[in-house]
Chain A
Amino acid sequence: MLTVRDLSVEFTTDRGVVTAVDRVSFSVDKGEMLGIVGESGCGKSVLARSIIRILPMPPARIRAGQLTLDGTNLLDLSEREMQKLRGKAVTMIFQEPMTSLNPKFKVGYQIAEVFRKHFGLRSSEAIERSVEMLALVGIPDPEERAKSYPFQLSGGMRQRVIIAMALAGDPQLLLADEPTTALDVTIQAQILDLIREINERSGTSMILITHDLGVIAELVQRVIVMYAGQIVEMTTTENLFDRPLHPYTVGLRNSIPDIDSPVSKYDGPLNEIAGSVPALDDLPIGCYFQGRCPKRMQVCADRQPVLKEVSPGHHVRCWLND
């Protein structure tokens, strides 16, 4: 349904051009939930924003071999044509429920904008549909809540409103950028359940961007691990946890103190990944992870590994698997 081939995003900065997303290729099937995991600066958010084309251009520049949604080449569309797709065929929700809604408009109105824009509904009808959407995402007393301003709602409620707004256009593809990161754990669990339920009911494909491997385990079937703008591993969720191949993936998985693990500080230190993510304008020759990798070899500093399919559906960018 969504096909991305050799997508790169470059930013012009004071210190020259940096590549935030580096020749990324993947696809999402209808109804599939794909996870993209990585740390800040790995390019996961930029990647999602480049698909829906809401990056500020300039300074951003998108290049791609292919970026098609249901056969439509998104890069060929004018801004006006793209506006017709945004909020309808493809939409995006963001991390901060506190700031992602306009504080000066009632939430019902903000959802209704989607119905007015994309379906040409009159305001009264659009508001009625908004109330239905609020009910759909589990907001109690939706008629009253539609008249609320964002500041009158809790973080969890606001995130439900944002999800309702995203679903209003009945999108084929929903991009969710850290949708539960800012929420309390009990609310996060409820929102994750809601997202799963929506996916099962409406068959909306989703790309879920997160730094939290726990959220990945909850929701998605397939995962992309990104590091310094590149895909370093792409596989099923099961493989990611049971047979991770890239040393970075392994490191991420082992460094998290797990609630189910009996390990305490008296059992020794946590496995840490040494050092920190290299700056995008200061990337090494060869593998970008070499400076932090416990399994570094000579070849890692000489040549950059390519993303290789080492078993069906399991891609990894590492010389160890060559």
Chain B
Amino acid sequence: MTDSSPSDTLLSVHELRKYFHLNSSFLHRSGKTVKALDGVSLHIKPGETLGLVGESGCGKTTLAKCILNIETPSSGQILFEGARINDLSGENLKSLRRNLQVIFQDPFGSLTPRMRVSRILREPLDVHSIGKSDQRAQLVTEMLERVGLRADHGTRFPHELSGGQRQRVAIARALMVKPRLIVADEPVSALDVSIQAQIINLLVDLQREYHLSYLFVSHDLGVVKYISDRVVVMYLGKIVEAATRDDLFAKPFHPYTISLMSAIPVPRAGGRTAEVDVKGEVPSPINPPSGCPYHTRCHKSRSRCTTEIPQLRQQAEGHYAACHYPDREVKVDA
């Protein structure tokens, strides 16, 4: 899915791998390896939202951490505006942070509890020397209003705010340095239903206003469908399907994507109509299955799936899936 030339790409990830070695210590080495990311490639264009979907253990959080330079990938490349950002430090990392910000699931954990909101928002300005010091208070007030808070919210501590308000502060903090890309890791999952829509609407508004790109990591397909331009589905450290939002939801190829969609409870009298055809649980990433990582749970699995790893192949224009038998029409008995 990396056909586009670098010129119109903000962030691109090439064959990224991240292996964790378990129980390694001075006298003891277990030799067990978790392949948290196993050859992941993707790109994000300016102003675009890339949805990243998958269940726990699929590697989506590790991928986000690698992009944010919190984890160092084992191999592969991460390019931001064409420049390698895998292993930055010092000034280079600092200048990357101006362009690349993050919003976490739990705004409470990511806001310093003993700082007032205005100081939390001012800090990035001080760190990156943005604006004259007398202008910074003004910039903070403007941003508070922009994310739907009042100026007097600046005098409060994070614990004095509601969950939705805290997430607005986290968004405001990310925006203070006017970044190009925001990694949003489950930004609405911890919020109440009535607040989720407010935050999603805010994120969409801000995207238009500041021409932001989002890497939107979520397990909630409904939210991803609403907010994304393109979507990547991950399973056990690999991308199993990638397409535009319209194509993916209209005609998914990978059996995992199909199952994921059918498993979501639908708020409508009678509930889901489709049967859930996904068996068992996600296998341990310590001992991933041979061949296709999904074959242990797949209703279409055949012998080839147990031996040969399917590559991500173009199934339709701009629509990629890693499946040996991606044809939806043919139902095969296992």
Contacts and interface: CB of A to CB of B under 8 A. Distances in A.
Contacts of A187: 55, 281
Contacts of B264: 185, 214, 259
A125 interface: no
Contact of A276 (B164, B221, B271): B164
B215 to A, nearest CB: 15
B96 interface: no
A156 B280 CA distance: 9
A193 B276 contact: yes
Contacts of A193: 276
Interface of A: 39-40, 154-157, 184-190, 192-193, 211-219, 237-238, 240-242, 251-253, 255-261, 263-265, 269-274, 276-277, 292
Contact of B281 (A39, A156, A238): A156
Residue among B164, B222, B265 facing the most chain A CB atoms (10 A cut-off)? B265
B195 interface: yes
Contacts of B204: 265, 269
B283 to A, nearest CB: 10
For chain B, what secondary structure do more than half of its interface residues adopt (helix, strand, loop), or is it mixed?
A: helix
B219 interface: yes
A274 B226 CA distance: 19
B29 interface: no
Interface of B: 49, 55-56, 162-165, 192-198, 200-201, 204-205, 219-223, 225-227, 245, 249, 259-272, 276, 278, 281-282, 297
Contacts of B201: 269-270, 272
B222 A237 contact: no
Given A186-B260, A258-B268, A276-B164, 11 more contacts: A155-B56, A189-B263, A190-B276, A212-B265, A214-B271, A255-B196, A257-B220, A258-B222, A259-B261, A264-B226, A270-B200
B265 A184 contact: no
A263 B200 CA distance: 13
B269 A186 contact: no
13 contacts: A40-B192, A185-B55, A185-B221, A186-B297, A193-B276, A212-B265, A217-B265, A257-B197, A264-B225, A265-B227, A270-B201, A276-B164, A277-B162
A258 B281 contact: no
A270 to B, nearest CB: 4
Residue among A241, A257, A274 facing the most chain B CB atoms (10 A cut-off)? A257
Contacts of A154: 281-282
Contact of A255 (B197, B225, B297): B197
Contacts of B249: 259
Contacts of B226: 257, 263-265, 270
Given A184-B282, A190-B276, A216 B197 contact: no
Contact of B197 (A237, A242, A271): A271
A276 B227 contact: no
Contact of A186 (B55, B164, B205): B55
Contacts of B165: 276
